[in-house]
Chain A
């Protein structure tokens, strides 16, 4: 979306023919403007707004099956959802997942960015290795970690066995399964967010650090009062992406646990997939999707309205 703007402006300049044709300049300018918006608008409406609206409509109807067509059933789907223990489980899991993954990812990304922003030996190698997980597709990552977590000969158990710790069924135990998936998500995303922090850090004027050094500020004080506030726009961007990812990325669940054992690793979107494409209860899947949409909308709004005011843009 952002990218299409400058292109539109550039294209507009040499093509100002409507003016020479005569007629009301204002009107043709309006039409021209709308025409420029049209390609993006069509895509947005077709793939974002229209599906969202039909999803909301479908959530008030029953699922059509065979010869039975959909009938209006009011809020029955929503009532069924409130009574559905798996839905609550998935929602709860997702909250735990998001509240662990987001802060851990951001903290790790920031730490890595600061580490490789400084002058240390082997910097290019470190940068590359921090970024590598991002380049891999999530399916590949999940398959790699599946073997890391394998009881007995998996990497994790092999390392622990050196210290005499017994083998552990990491993904098969309901106390550890979700934590294992959280680790995978952090590992996968931290490198990606690190790039944004690194870019922001490199744009920061070195004069600030020099001034702080003259004033005798400690490194931690400098980070807390200067670096971190200046990174806030980046943090907001990263935060939004991290939140979206924590509700959107479920590839690793499909590969590693299929939501098991006993739904302990079922996230909301995974449950929606199950309901929609395994149970074929499309109306109920639409209902769950509405909840997910509402949740994300509230989170995004909250971020833009509340956090944005506190952020200092240069």
Chain B
């Protein structure tokens, strides 16, 4: 008998049905929140605590934090989930992914949610430099959360040993080259035991390159994300300067320099200066076995650095109720106090000016003035390279930069090729 065979299933089916229905009766709003970090470690603990505190203050809303790996992994997971019809509700993704997410029709702008005056004031409370990568076409698509810029770290011991003032980092390109000559240590045969500087060029060299182009007073793209200016003379000059550090001035290792091992090179005293993200501040503070300083990137025509890091995005396919709850969570995570705590815990820049007026932040900066360097550099910061079909355009530029650094192309040729490729990729968006 069929019935006799399946009757053991009945209690199970009953239990499952009950579980499902009781879940809907409680009517909790459940929000999935993709966050770009591997599982474990101190940062997941902070996020978990924040989510729990938010749930306590807002009964009826549940936040499921999903730790999804690197920024790239998280984007892949979020977009794949979106394409299969079950996108996350909230995600922290790179600010530069804005155009890609818009093109995929995956996110909703925040503007419609800003109903009260408080909300409108909140949306205006962030550093304008961070909003450059968060707004386009008159709409706000992302809310700054963990943002960074490129800064210069220097080893004070190495400066002292080279007869330089240990408390003064090179302030211009010329000073960098002059100091660099003294900081590079060679033995009798010419083998280098300590380089003056490392500007990493693996993975995403365009970002560090923007620290050079911005100082040379050129932009790489327009705000609409439809045009690039890779072959402008100022860009080529900036690349020439970078190449010359290795090939002419011989104060930087030749070839591409691995992003991931650059901090290690710095700790091992293989390089006296490194350029890297402010997000490394806490890492350097706990691992450098020597006094170090943090400075703004050296100036040339002007001063400058790109911003970087992640924004909050709200995905489509939420009900109005869910969207309001998600919005509440984003607002809650970006209050001045929480922005200050987050900045202190990670080294990212607290994203709004009033966060720097909180007592905890004031105390932190008083103890550790280096933390304020990145903030002060924001005055000169520009948006990170971001266009439509962003990763492809970025790759064209990355390939060009690496070709120039490894000497297979002249900077001029490399940037002309990159521009040509970018024009081809961006044709559908004109």
A residues apposed to B, CB below 8 Å: 65-67, 86, 146-147, 150-153, 161, 164, 166-167, 169, 171-174, 257-258, 260-263, 274, 277-281
Contacts and interface: CB of A to CB of B under 8 A. Distances in A.
Given A261-B403, A274-B395, A167 B192 contact: yes
Given A151-B253, A172-B202, A261 B191 contact: no
A140 to B, nearest CB: 14
Contact of A166 (B72, B190, B391): B190
B305 interface: no
Contact of A146 (B79, B105, B201, B258): B258
Contacts, number: 98
A261 B406 contact: yes
A137 to B, nearest CB: 14
B268 A172 contact: no
A263 B406 CA distance: 12
B202 A279 contact: no
B261 A260 contact: no
Nearest to B265: A152
A258 B202 contact: yes
Interface string B145-181: 0000000000000000000000000000000000000
A261 B405 CA distance: 9
Interface in B224-282: 253-258, 260-261, 264-265, 268, 270
Contact of B191 (A167, A171, A257): A167
A261 B409 CA distance: 12
B408 A278 contact: no
B256 A172 contact: yes
A173 B256 CA distance: 7
Given A152-B265, A167-B192, A257 B253 contact: no
Chain B contact-residue range equals 35 or more
Contact of B391 (A146, A171, A278): A278
Contacts of A261: 201-202, 255-256, 402-403, 405-406
A279 B403 contact: no
B13 interface: no
Given A151-B253, A260-B402, A261-B402, A280 B260 contact: no
Contact of B406 (A161, A262, A274, A279): A262
B189 interface: yes
Contacts of A152: 193, 265, 268, 270
Contact of A262 (B76, B189, B257, B402): B402
Interface string B379-399: 000000000010110010011
Contacts of A277: 76
A260 B191 contact: no
Interface of B: 72, 76, 79, 100, 103-105, 189-193, 201-203, 253-258, 260-261, 264-265, 268, 270, 389, 391-392, 395, 398-400, 402-403, 405-406, 408
Given A173-B255, A278-B72, A280-B100, A66 B105 contact: yes
A219 to B, nearest CB: 45
Nearest to B393: A279
A174 B406 contact: yes
A71 to B, nearest CB: 14
B258 A172 contact: yes
25 contacts: A65-B105, A66-B105, A146-B260, A151-B253, A151-B270, A153-B268, A166-B191, A166-B192, A167-B253, A172-B202, A172-B254, A172-B256, A172-B258, A173-B255, A173-B406, A257-B202, A260-B203, A260-B402, A262-B399, A262-B400, A262-B403, A262-B408, A263-B399, A277-B76, A279-B395
Given A153-B268, A261-B402, A279-B389, 9 more contacts: A65-B105, A151-B265, A167-B191, A169-B255, A172-B406, A260-B202, A260-B399, A261-B202, A280-B79
Given A260-B203, A262-B403, A171 B408 contact: no
Contact of A150 (B191, B255, B264): B264
Contacts of B408: 174, 262
Nearest to A174: B406
A279 B391 contact: yes
Contacts of B405: 261
Contacts of B255: 169, 172-174, 261
A81 to B, nearest CB: 15
Q: Which of B189, B191, B258, B391 has the most CB of A within 10 A?
A: B258
